[in-house]
Amino acid sequence: MVNIENKKASFDYEITEKFEAGIALLGSEVKSIRAGHAYLRDAFCFVENGELFLKNCRIGRYSPSTIFPPDELRSRKLLLHKQEIRRLIGKSKEKGLTVIPLRMYFKGQRVKVEIALARGKKAYDKKQTAKERDVKRDMERQLADMR
């Protein structure tokens, strides 16, 4: 099962709310995602004409495809209900909130993108997150040594 994650998102952002969205793709892009050739690290979402788009999501070229492959970094339309898009637009206009993709996965035959409303962390918040992760890792090691 393919599950492409944006691991940097939980470090850089404080996640407040999650949504599941479909994504408009071409056939060769779906095959490339199934092969695991997609990267969400620098991706973000933006609103244009009342529609939500995914930008900077790199979906690698599927080599057996046609001689005219789609652009790897093209903007891709996210498929959400109109009420959800309006809610995201309203919330993203609040100070410091942005919409970012967290992961891309298959649900049946369809590709889904989990997006989230997030607030950027400050440097001291990131240091605190790293410190908590290190303490948790040390505790788990000590428990494993005691067994």
pTM above 0.95, yes or no: no
Report how far residue 16's alpha carbon sits from residue 85's, in angstroms, rounded to the nearest whole number.
16
At residue 61, the pLDDT reads 83
Residues with Cβ within 8 Å of 123's Cβ and at least 6 positions away in sequence, in order, are none
Band of pLDDT at residue 1, cut at 50, 70 and 90: low
In CATH terms, 3-121 corresponds, of 2.40.280.10, 3.40.50.300, 3.40.50.10470, 1.10.1740.10, to: 2.40.280.10
pLDDT 10s digits, 43-54: 888 888 888 999
pLDDT 10s digits, 68-126: 777 788 889 999 999 998 888 888 887 778 889 999 999 988 999 999 998 888 888 88
